[in-house]
Amino acid sequence: MANEIHEIPISPGSLFRADRGAPVRGGHSRFVPMVPVSQDVSLPCIWRSHAVTQGLDNSNRPIRVHECLLLISRDPIVTMRAEVEVDAWQNFGEALVEW
């Protein structure tokens, strides 16, 4: 079970507009960046640190990163810690996530 990926239903509809920091009116929803974790899977980032720290890329070269939490499942809530290169955030799409 630890290796299972749970589908997170995402349905923005036509009434919601992206607002990176504020909850959507009337519920516990938010537009968040979708971080790719493999070629076919992206997970919603539900928290990102403001601090920039040093991490390593796939070639073990130092890079600047933000620590973040990615939502794997919402019932029960399961997250995973990740590090994302500072300049990569601008390339991610967004999706509406409810919890």
Backbone angles phi, psi at 87, to 5 degrees: -80, -10
- Residue 24's pLDDT is 47
- For residue 52, being part of any structural domain is answered with yes
Does 49 reside within a domain? Answer: yes
Decide if 20 is inside a domain: no
Averaged pLDDT, groups of 10, the chain, 99 residues long: 47 46 58 90 91 89 92 85 92 85
pLDDT of residue 13: 46
Q: List phi, psi (to 5°) of 86.
A: -55, -45
Question: Is 9 a domain residue?
Answer: no
Q: Which helix (H) or strand (E) holds 52?
A: none
The pLDDT of residue 44: 92
For residue 24, tell me if it sits in a domain: no
Tokens of 82: 């990740």
Residue 40 lies in a domain: no
Domain residue limits at 85? 45-98
Does residue 13 form part of some domain? no
DSSP code string of 8-32: -----TTT----SSSPPTTSSEEEE
Query: Number of structural domains, the chain?
Result: 1
pLDDT at 17: 47
Let me know: does 71 contact 77? Beta carbons within 8 Å: yes
Is 50 within the bounds of a domain? Answer: yes
pLDDT in tens, 34-47: 999 888 889 999 89
